[in-house]
A = this chain, B = another copy of it.
Amino acid sequence: MTSASNTQLLTHATVATCASGASDAELIEDGAVLIENGEIRWVGTSVEATSEFAQCSLPTSSCSGRLLTPGLIDCHTHLVYGGDRSIEFEQRLMGKSYEEIARAGGGIVSSVQATRAASAHELMQTALHRLDALLASGVTTVEIKSGYGLDLDTEARCLTVARKLSEHRPISVATTYLGAHALPPEFTNDREGYVDFVVNQALPEIADRGLADAVDGFCEGIAFSTQEIARVFEKARALGIPIKLHAEQLSNLGGAKLAASFGALSADHLEYLDEEGVVAMAEGGTVAVLLPGAFYYLRETRKPPVTLLREHGVPIAIATDLNPGSSPVHSLIATMNMACVLFELTPNEVLRGVTVAAAQALGLRDRGQIKPGLRADLALWSTTAPVGLCYPLGHAPCQAVWFAGDLVRGQLP
């Protein structure tokens, strides 16, 4: 091994490897990580590194004992959209009902209208603004769903913008087509017609243009039934696109079980998930993506079945659900705090939830852990333990970020 500008040894870090198969953050005290050509080449202790690489005179940086984690992964967002629904938030606080607001053109319909009206440039500018907030949480991979366009043009425009975000910032973007998010106004009296459109026109076209890494749906009384979602999933399977599902958020329709039967990457929300659904997810290898931001903003009281998920070994991921209506949360760090306070997950579980489990929820095997051969997406923090990320609220603990081996944010202490 020779010293090269694309090689860097990080030493004296508390390395949270989040290694596979473990139930905690798998810390290496006084750990070291060798980065080479954008990948993690070697992981061990600083003492081992000293003897292993003594002859190599590698560029070496001390992390001064601080916590080094995989770059964080926000595996469920709706980051690209038009418009602003803050006014509805204020109206509700001033006593207007959801119904009054909806009758006045508010709710998801208003986001659809504003998103359809927005140019790709406008969508890009507002998305970059939100993404910049998210990057402050040490995020190196973000999933972004469509679903505020619903028509083919707007959905394709949103997914294209999502893909292009990575040309402007150090971020990997996983895109998800969420046509089955809501019934668009032009199909108000023709549910079947809209599902036909998604299945026969939109999804094949989106797939053909390579715009979606996954297909998602919203299975709920106010959205789509399991039968309707099953049609979308069958098409996705035929096209070879992985699936995900918004399931059991407001009621238990058995969406998670359906998703698991299709081998879904993840089922998301899950407040009303029952043991049958948990077992199905365990068998299907489906990750549980919990979204405490939406739980918080909607003032929900029913929590996802964390104990059952643990008992059955279902991996738990945590995400912001960043969206204009029910979760305008721009910080994955704040979301990690909420996962502890509101869902009573432990800091170790939460760290795994935004690294290894989040990578699994996106079907990405090349990241989410600190181990040889994976991408050198790393984050360094102003703390020495996972709880230091999760306990305070409103702090800014991210000190440095490496994206595919390049230091793209902050500096070493």
With A299-B341, A340-B93, A341-B299: A328-B133 Cβ-Cβ less than 8 Å:
no
Residue in A90, A93, A344 with the greatest tally of chain B CB atoms within 10 Å = A93
Q: Compute how far the CA of A335 lies from the CA of B90 in the bound complex, rounded to whole angstroms.
A: 16
The answer, among B93, B385, B387, B393, for a CB contact under 8 Å with A329, is B393
Q: Does A136 contact B (CB under 8 A)?
A: yes
Q: Does A396 contact B (CB under 8 A)?
A: yes
**Are B331 and A89 in contact, CB atoms less than 8 angstroms apart?**
no
Check if A333 is an interface residue, CB within 8 A of chain B. yes
Q: Which residues of B contact A76 (CB under 8 A)?
A: none
A297 part of interface (Cβ distance < 8 Å): yes
Q: Is the CB of B330 within 8 A of A392?
A: yes
Cβ distance A327 to chain B, nearest Cβ, rounded Å? 9
Identical copies in the complex: 2
- The reply on A334 being an interface residue by CB < 8 A is yes
Residue A346 CB within 8 A of the other chain:
yes
Q: How far is the CA of A200 from the CA of B267 in the complex (A)?
A: 63
Mark contacts of A116-132 with chain B using CB atoms, 8 A cut-off: 1 yes-contact digit, 0 otherwise: 00000000000000000
Question: In the complex the two chains form, is B133's CB within 8 Å of A391's CB?
Answer: no
Given contacts A93-B345, A347-B93, contact A391 B86 (CB under 8 A): yes
Q: Does A395 belong to the interface (CB within 8 Å)?
A: yes
* Residue A94 is within 8 A (CB to CB) of chain B in the complex: yes
The interface bits of chain A over 273-292 (1 if a CB of B lies within 8 angstroms of the residue's CB, else 0) are 00000000000000000000
Known: A330-B395, A395-B133. A387 touches B340 (CB 8 A): no
B-side contacts of A89, CB under 8 Å: 340, 347, 387, 390-391
Which residues from B are CB-within-8-Å of A372? none
Across the interface, do A87 and B387 meet the contact criterion of CB distance under 8 Å?
yes
Question: Contact at B90–A329, with CB atoms within 8 Å?
Answer: no
Q: CA of A136 to CA of B334 in the docked complex: distance in angstroms?
A: 16
Instruction: Determine the chain B residues whose CB is within 8 A of the CB of A347 once the complex forms.
Output: 89-90, 93
User: Contact at A94–B346, with CB atoms within 8 Å?
Assistant: yes
A294-315 CB contacts (< 8 Å) to partner B:
296-297, 299
Interface size on A, as a range, is 35 or more
Contacts of A331 in B (CB 8 A): 393-395
- Does A255 have its Cβ within 8 Å of any Cβ on chain B? no
Say which residue of B335, B388, B394 sits within 8 Å of A334 (CB atoms): B394
Complex interface: chain B residues within 8 A of A346 (CB): 90, 93-94
Q: Which B residues are in CB contact (< 8 Å) with A345? A: 93
Contacts of A93 in B (CB 8 A): 340, 344-347
Interface string of A86-102 (1 = CB under 8 A from B): 11011001100000000
Report if A293 contacts B (CB, 8 A).
yes
5 A-B pairs besides A86-B385, A133-B394, A331-B394 with CB distance below 8 A are A86-B392, A90-B391, A330-B395, A331-B393, A334-B334
25 interchain pairs, CB-CB under 8 A? A86-B385, A86-B387, A86-B392, A87-B387, A89-B340, A89-B391, A90-B347, A90-B385, A90-B391, A93-B340, A93-B344, A93-B347, A133-B394, A133-B396, A137-B394, A299-B341, A329-B392, A329-B394, A330-B392, A330-B394, A331-B395, A333-B394, A334-B334, A334-B393, A335-B394
The 10 closest A-B pairs by CB, nearest first: A331-B394, A86-B391, A330-B394, A334-B394, A90-B387, A328-B392, A330-B395, A86-B387, A93-B346, A89-B391
